[in-house]
Structure 1
Amino acid sequence: MDKTPFLTKEQAEKITKEFPTPFHIYDEKGIRENARLVKKAFAWNKGFREYFAVKATPNPFILKILQEEDCGVDCSSLTELQLAEACGFSGSDIMFSSNVTPAEDYKFAYKLGAYINLDDITHIEYLEKLTGIPETICCRFNAGGNFTISTFVMDKPQDAKYGFTRKQMFEGFRMLMEKGAKHFGIHAFLASNTVTNDYYPTLAKQMFQLAADLRKETGADITFINLSGGVGVAYKPDQTPNDILAIGEGVRRVYEDILVPAGLGDVAIFTEMGRFMLAPYGALITRVLHKKHIYKEYVGCDACAANLMRPAMYGAYHHITVLGKEDQPCTYMCDVTGGLCENNDKFAIDRMLPPTDIGDLIYIHDTGAHGFSMGYNYNGKLRSAELLLCEDDSVKMIRRAETAADYFATFDFCGIMDKYLK
């Protein structure tokens, strides 16, 4: 797969004259085209809706773009619910999927009329005492064991903290019906960042059979099945990207095989594809500050793990392009690092790049989801700006960079940082 930046060196250099590096930038054209492709892939299902996972990219400008493309939002906290409300989402536009959920979060979700997705059977009585049980309610399913496709173990639901067991799903549906629930959804998340067209159809087969069994044994009116996320992106150049049209067709075949004969041919399919929707359409732009020659070669950038945590946190691969040197041979092995006081503050280890110089602009691919949103302030590092490359090739700031005043603002009650808060 060709990992081609959506920015040229000339574009990036022009942008840096107004917005200093590092910054995250998103491609509006790519986001819109991808959202339309997802909708096309599931157009066979009249109730289909993509609920974008706000946790992936919690920026109101991004959420408004997706809203214009008829997406809903998936929220997991009070703050995300507040962001969704501020962007004009309400009622069935919102899925609320949370775990270890505080009372205030449930209350606000109920107030908004969101679809509430219960993560645990004990939350049935908890929610009933807080707000009462809404007429439409969803339960999250954990199948246990290992999740496999053919003989390959993709993930281990048995080790995940999420969801009801199969037995609890039946018990929970009966409890909810006794407490006034009239319509039901089923939700599951079994694997993360899969790069295979078989994942969703395999998950769908399991979910659709569960729905048919629940309908048969409890008589519950199941109105939607949420396949959640897990459809990933090709972070590495040698990976074959998912084909969302093939994935949608695979789910359709399983739907026709299982749900239609069970009398569930009107069930809506929901998805929550934060990574697939956004990751390829965001990049972290950073400039080379230093080069170090000791036991290894190091390229030091003005971005760090505080701007993109995934490589430091669990060794995630992000492809790197040295802008303007795309056609040069990759003959230079180096670690690409930031300036944190942590040795895992590395965007790449033993990565082959073109000969790289101080001042070069580095384009780190696929940061549009779980990039900026996982940022933090260790070492007093400040979160970067977020920019949008608009469809007309103009660039606008959609979140300003933090300043020292932002960092010190929570100290303002004591007065000792006043000179930095002006």
Structure 2
Amino acid sequence: MKTPFVTKDQLEAIAAQYPTPFHIYDEQGIRENARRLRKAFAWNPGYREYFAVKAAPTPALLKLLHEEGCGCDCSSMTELIISERCGITGENIMFSSNDTPAEEFQMADRLGAIINLDDLTLVDYLERSIGHVPEKICCRYNPGGVFTLGETREGFQVMDNPGDAKYGMTRAQIAEAFTRLSAMGAKEFGIHAFLASNTLSNDYYPALARILFQLAAELKAETGVHITFINLSGGVGIPYRPEQPANDIAVIGEGVRRAYEEVLVPAGMGDVALYTELGRFMTGPYGHLVTRAIHEKHIYKEYIGVDACACNLMRPAMYGSYHHITVMGKEDQLCDHKYDIAGSLCENNDKFAVDRMLPKIDMGDLLVIHDTGAHGFSMGYNYNGKLRSAELLLKEDGSVELIRRAETPEDYFRTLVW
């Protein structure tokens, strides 16, 4: 059972001012979650969370998280600009990109961001692009092969395929990159890696940390460089299905601490700072897409048509992802009707749910689609001329703030040349 952070009466009042569909975020939930994360890694004095801007590139959310001590993980020019305009600059930005144009490296350097190099060829490319090598630099590692965690407390395996990913350097390449960067003037080095996505396991981060800690100790011995930070990136997931257990960030932080003390401290590296880049974990559960049932169709299946579509939330159409749905005001009714919940795009995959058991839905009912606070609005698009919805923030005092207005047809036409 997933419980919305707003009531039916609240949503009806909000919808009277801001018509559906809209995304709404829970300020209190986001702040409390950021504080739990910071507490879990408080044992590491240099710890910093770099929120993945791609997950929710909305200034109000970036500023909120920055107030809670988070920086920004950026991967493009526009994300760098958003961060700068939010007053987030310098080493509060981690610039992790791939296939990077020179002008984006130049922008990152101008802002004083920590640059994370994705490939060995970027060592020389970076120097040509900005005229020097920064004193503080990071390289992204890809161990190759298939990453498996084995049985977890939830009783299933975590498995991903780094060897099939376009990101990062091989073991030999990162050693060469460190050696060359050192010769070119770099003084402080970091390691970054991402092995698996949306893991529901308290064991994933400690396992990743141990891999990177061992690599750091080896690279220090081989190259003699000063490794000052290790970025564990993202991958800590959220339970999209109500029966799935949530990660315990306190347990995760303790597991990383044990690996740190067992690997880095004996290697004389007990001063290494840890960074994370959590997007989905930070904001995902604290966002809802709110939509209204406007049509019903009875053919070979039962369909409920809503006023949102895949342009508002792409994940179900793109990945077949599950997002829980609450029919507001009917939370306690039996889920005895089987529906496909569909949008209005000219694509048959424009469905938020397929064969979903829900209470009887009447026209005008409000539906909350859960866990859209990350990779929800941010993956929106304008197919069929659909317009992006508004974004709202439910403040800690219960008031609602418009943090991004809905697009208008004039916004859609603005870039056209007639």
TM-score interval, normalised by the smaller of the two chains? over 0.9
Deviations 1:145-179 (A, max 9, x none): 00110263510000000000011011110010111
Gaps of 5+ in 1: 415-422
1:136 lines up with 2:136 in the alignment: yes
Question: Which secondary structure does the structure 2 equivalent of 1:81 belong to?
Answer: helix
Equivalents in 1 of 2:217, 2:359: separation in Å?
Answer: 56
Residue 101 of structure 2 is matched in structure 1 by 102
Q: Residue 158 of structure 2 contacts residue 199 of structure 2 at CA under 8 Å; is this kept in 1?
A: no
1:301 lines up with 2:300 in the alignment: no
Question: Which secondary structure does the structure 2 equivalent of 1:410 belong to?
Answer: coil
Residue 79 of structure 2 is matched in structure 1 by 80
Question: Which secondary structure does the structure 2 equivalent of 1:316 belong to?
Answer: coil
Deviations 1:46-66 (A, max 9, x none): 000000000000000001100
Amino acid at match of 1:138: C
Amino acid at match of 2:368: Y
1:264 lines up with 2:269 in the alignment: yes
Equivalents in 2 of 1:367, 1:163: separation in Å?
Answer: 28
Equivalents in 1 of 2:372, 2:76: separation in Å?
Answer: 22
1:178 lines up with 2:194 in the alignment: no
1:324 lines up with 2:323 in the alignment: no
Residue 57 of structure 2 is matched in structure 1 by 58
Q: Residue 137 of structure 2 contacts residue 190 of structure 2 at CA under 8 Å; is this kept in 1?
A: yes
Equivalents in 1 of 2:316, 2:252: separation in Å?
Answer: 28
Equivalents in 1 of 2:324, 2:171: separation in Å?
Answer: 40
Deviations 1:226-281 (A, max 9, x none): 00000000000110000000000000000000000001100000000000000000
Q: Residue 30 of structure 2 contacts residue 283 of structure 2 at CA under 8 Å; is this kept in 1?
A: yes
Deviations 1:292-315 (A, max 9, x none): 110000010000000000000010
Question: Which secondary structure does the structure 2 equivalent of 1:208 belong to?
Answer: helix
Residue 154 of structure 2 is matched in structure 1 by none
1:310 lines up with 2:315 in the alignment: yes
Equivalents in 1 of 2:96, 2:273: separation in Å?
Answer: 18
Which one of the candidate residues 201, 206, 210 is aligned to 2:211?
A: 206
Q: How many residues align?
A: 412
Question: Which secondary structure does the structure 2 equivalent of 1:17 belong to?
Answer: helix
Matches within 5 A, 1:328-407: 328-407=333-412
Amino acid at match of 1:133: V
Deviations 1:115-137 (A, max 9, x none): 00000000000001111110000
Q: Residue 117 of structure 1 contacts residue 140 of structure 1 at CA under 8 Å; is this kept in 2?
A: yes
Alpha-carbon RMSD = 0.7
Gaps of 5+ in 2: 152-156
Q: Residue 233 of structure 1 contacts residue 280 of structure 1 at CA under 8 Å; is this kept in 2?
A: yes
Q: Residue 146 of structure 1 contacts residue 153 of structure 1 at CA under 8 Å; is this kept in 2?
A: no
Q: Residue 326 of structure 2 contacts residue 367 of structure 2 at CA under 8 Å; is this kept in 1?
A: yes
Q: What is the TM-score with the length of structure 2 in the denominator? A: 0.98
Equivalents in 1 of 2:214, 2:59: separation in Å?
Answer: 37
Equivalents in 1 of 2:270, 2:322: separation in Å?
Answer: 41
- 1:153–1:327: structure 2 CA closer, same or farther, 3 Å change rule? closer
Question: Which secondary structure does the structure 2 equivalent of 1:150 belong to?
Answer: strand
Q: Residue 294 of structure 2 contacts residue 363 of structure 2 at CA under 8 Å; is this kept in 1?
A: yes
Equivalents in 2 of 1:59, 1:201: separation in Å?
Answer: 30
Residue 223 of structure 1 is matched in structure 2 by 228
Equivalents in 2 of 1:90, 1:410: separation in Å?
Answer: 29
Residue 192 of structure 1 is matched in structure 2 by 197
Superposition deviation, residue 354 in structure 1: 0.4
Residue 260 of structure 2 is matched in structure 1 by 255
